[in-house]
A and B are shown apart, each in its own frame.
Chain A
Amino acid sequence: MDRSSALGRGLAAAASASLVGLFVLPLVALFVYAGGRGLGVAAGDPGFRTALEFTLLASALAVGSGLLVGIPLGYALARFRFPGRRLLESVVMVPVVVPHLVVGIGLLLLFAPNSPVGHLAGALGIPVLDATAGVVLVMVYVGAPYVVLTSQLAFRAVDDDVLEAARSLGASPTEALVTVTLPSAARGILTGALLMWARGVSEVGGFLILAFAVSPSPPWSGPTTSTASVWIYSYWGIDPTAAVGASALLVLVALAIFLAVRGFDRSGLSGLVGRWLP
């Protein structure tokens, strides 16, 4: 190995180590500060438990909605050529670059009771401000781009030869989509769903504006609450120990969900073939 390549490797290793340190050390600090006691306090706090429950419900609804609209859009962007496709791709990425407080303000103005859209939502009996729908809406806004992007990449990676083989083996276009394209893209879509979920759960800015305190609103029938992130933000100024404990608990829940999804991902498609797929 010559000196310049040794130097290059050294710099790369140092850069990697700094970045990994930056990712991990704040979490280490969080857990060290919280300790077992902090985690216990947070777990035992009925207010935080309710906020966590609500967050899991809202994020599940948001990911479901995001998949429902994001997968078809990702598919269309990957498989069809149509005028304005490039523009649409850019528009889809707008939520990633817009500051999230601005997202909250925009959604607040859009759904204000005296605005046409707010009026329509009211008429349909769907409260948005300080309601479950508002939280879900913010989560979809900030997270759905990840579903669109990852599913677009996943659909694009499905080889035309594979689809043509499936067709000639007897699959109609719909059967080829359901039995080959979607399962082949599933891993990418799952990654997008996970990113969307993580993004939604970690959101604060949009909630502060649109849904700071969430009143009981379908399908949430619990007491008035907030998202876990807003709960932590609120308690940071009142009871830092509780806020740190809650933060550590939220990280543990997120990691548990991440590992569960990855575990399902690893078990792969094979388990579904024969039972659900031909």
Chain B
Amino acid sequence: MSALEIESLALERGDFTLGPVSLDVALGSATVLLGPSGAGKTTLLRAVAGFLPTSAGTVRLAGASIGSLPPERRGFGFVPGNLGLFSDRRVRQNVRYPIGLRGGPDVEGRTAHWLERFGLTALADRYPRELSSGERQRVAMARALASDPKALLWDEPLAALDVESREELLRLLADLLETERIPLLLVTHDPATAFALASRVVVLEEGSVRFDGPPEALGRAPLDRFVARFLGYANLFDAEELGRAPPSDLVRALTRASGPAGVAVPNEAVRFAPGPGAGASARVQAVRWSSAGWTVALRHGGLVLHRTVPGELPPVRVGDEVALSVETLALKPLVASSTGATR
């Protein structure tokens, strides 16, 4: 059963039009809103939370229509992008806020429960500024859950977190979905978050839904450039780029594999070896390190292909000549954007 249902929600803000957007979030599952900056993800989340007026559509939570209710009566735990912690209150007072607001018995006991649940007991007397970004996220989560919400809305929970804190928070969120059985609608521009948590992914671009389905279907769906970028394809070539490149076996292979909007070359499909050899001749244009490994940029004619290799530095240097080939069976044709949506 869907705990949170959004049906044909639409709104206008100045020149920007959002929707109509329809999506739902099942009990104990996460639906992730994915998209680049300016896609309308945060706008949608704030509209669902009741902070922006909508021009059409309905929002139902636990079977009740809540679209006309003010934010405080909608039953969401809403965590904004910068968490909205009360900077002049200690951690304990932040978590206590929704409990104290509602009143009832044992306010301190209930506060202590949520502090302990998120490992914040030892940090209870600190101010948010004295916490790490991961700890602040935990405070925001504890405070949101202390309000006894029927669903959680969270804007960019993993933004600005180091790798360790991201992993920890992802574990916490996954645990939360399982133990609290709460539906989670989460905004991110990071596909890794989506794949780690989501049972459903909704990709937004320029206010419109471009994809709606389980995360694994995102990889199987016809690829457009937008979705391909989100799936981490570093090598996307359109027909014009391929047409401009000097003819070669490699360019012809890419052209043959192209769809209407070009071709995507997965990272693993790019092969190279030092020195001249079997394959097209290419030159190493750059070698860069990131947390994903070493990325080598290889120039062949007018095309630049990237290959990221985890682990040790590959035995090439900038300016070296290498033999370049691609795994033709792994190439993905790109469809035009408008056909990329499944809904």
Contact = CB atoms under 8 A, between A and B. Distances in A.
Partners in one complex: yes
Interface of A: 159, 161-173, 175, 179-180, 183-184, 187, 268-270, 273-274, 277-278
Nearest to B81: A161
User: Interface centre among A168, A171, A173, A183, by most B CB within 10 Å?
Assistant: A168
Nearest to A180: B86
Shortest 8 CB-CB distances between A and B: which pairs? A165-B84, A278-B100, A168-B78, A161-B80, A169-B98, A161-B84, A167-B71, A278-B101
B96 interface: yes
B89 A269 contact: yes
A179 B86 CA distance: 11
Given A169-B143, A169-B147, A269-B89, A164 B100 contact: no
B246 interface: no
Contacts of A170: 72, 98, 101-102, 147
A180 B87 CA distance: 10
Interface of B: 46, 49-51, 70-72, 74, 76-90, 93, 96-102, 140, 143-144, 147, 153
Nearest to B99: A278
Contacts of B87: 162, 184
Given A161-B83, A161-B84, A179-B101, A167 B72 contact: yes
B89 A172 contact: no
19 contacts: A159-B82, A161-B82, A161-B83, A161-B84, A164-B49, A164-B78, A166-B84, A166-B97, A167-B70, A168-B49, A168-B50, A168-B147, A169-B72, A170-B147, A171-B72, A171-B101, A173-B70, A175-B72, A184-B86
Question: Chain A binding site: helix, strand, loop or mixed by DSSP?
Answer: helix
A168 B146 CA distance: 12
A235 to B, nearest CB: 45
B96 A278 contact: yes
Nearest to A175: B101
A172 B101 CA distance: 10
Contacts of A162: 84-87
Question: Chain B binding site: helix, strand, loop or mixed by DSSP?
Answer: mixed
A273 B49 contact: no
A273 B100 CA distance: 10
B82 A169 contact: no
Nearest to B147: A169
Nearest to A268: B88
A183 B81 CA distance: 22
A263 B253 CA distance: 76
A163 B83 CA distance: 11
A274 B98 contact: no
Contact of A165 (B78, B88, B93, B99): B78
B93 A273 contact: yes
Contact of B144 (A169, A171, A273, A277): A169
A270 B93 contact: yes
Contact of A168 (B72, B85, B89, B99): B72
Contact of B88 (A164, A169, A171, A183): A183
B294 to A, nearest CB: 39
